[in-house]
């Protein structure tokens, strides 16, 4: 089955720092790839997605590029804000799109 390996947290950064959260995956075929964000006490929200190789998903200043050759989908942001403090999950659907496989999540804390 599919698997997702995500950068261990927690990650603490100062405001305006550059952020990278690593995600690598194994999957059958060429599925879409997703990043979700979970703010404290809330459910998960789709942050961005990419549907095929070399696609770049972007939203709210975050970006991730679908790298088929390295099976990676790393999340980046050039200048983080305190409001970006949350838990971030990388996810990949299985071949029949019945289920999503999630990474373990990376807790990000931004200090002013």
Partner 1 sequence: DGGITQSPKYLFRKEGQNVTLSCEQNLNHDAMYWYRQDPGQGLRLIYYSQIVNDFQKGDIAEGYSVSREKKESFPLTVTSAQKNPTAFYLCASTSTGLPNQPQHFGDGTRLSIL
19, 23, 25, 31: which one binds partner 1 (CB under 8 A): 31
In sequence order, the β-bridge partners of residue 107 are: 87
Q: Which residues pair with 37 in a beta bridge?
A: 45, 88
Q: Is residue 25 close enough to count as binding partner 1 by CB under 8 A?
A: no
User: Which of the 8 DSSP states describes residue 88?
Assistant: E
Residue 57 binds partner 1, judged by CB under 8 A: no
**Among 81, 62, 75, 60, residue whose Cα is nearest residue 15:** 81
Give the residue with the Cβ less far from partner 1, 46 or 82: 46
Binding of residue 102 to partner 1 (CB under 8 A): yes
16 binds partner 1 (CB under 8 A): no
Q: For residue 34, give the 3-state DSSP assignment.
A: strand
Q: How many whole angstroms from its chain centre is CA 37?
A: 8
- Binding residues for partner 1 (CB under 8 A): 31-32, 34, 36, 41-46, 49, 51, 89, 93, 97-100, 102-105, 107
């Amino acid at each position: 089955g599919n698997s997702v390996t995500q950068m261990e947290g927690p990650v603490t950064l100062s405001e305006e720092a550059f952020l990278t959260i690593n995600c690598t995956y194994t999957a059958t075929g060429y599925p879409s790839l997703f990043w979700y964000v979970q703010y404290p006490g809330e459910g998960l929200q789709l942050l961005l997605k990419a549907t095929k190789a070399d696609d770049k998903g972007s939203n709210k200043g975050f970006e991730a590029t679908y790298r088929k050759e390295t099976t990676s989908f790393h999340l980046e942001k050039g200048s983080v804000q305190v409001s970006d403090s949350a838990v971030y999950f990388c996810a990949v659907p299985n071949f029949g799109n019945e289920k999503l496989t999630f990474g373990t999540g990376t807790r990000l804390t931004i200090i002013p």
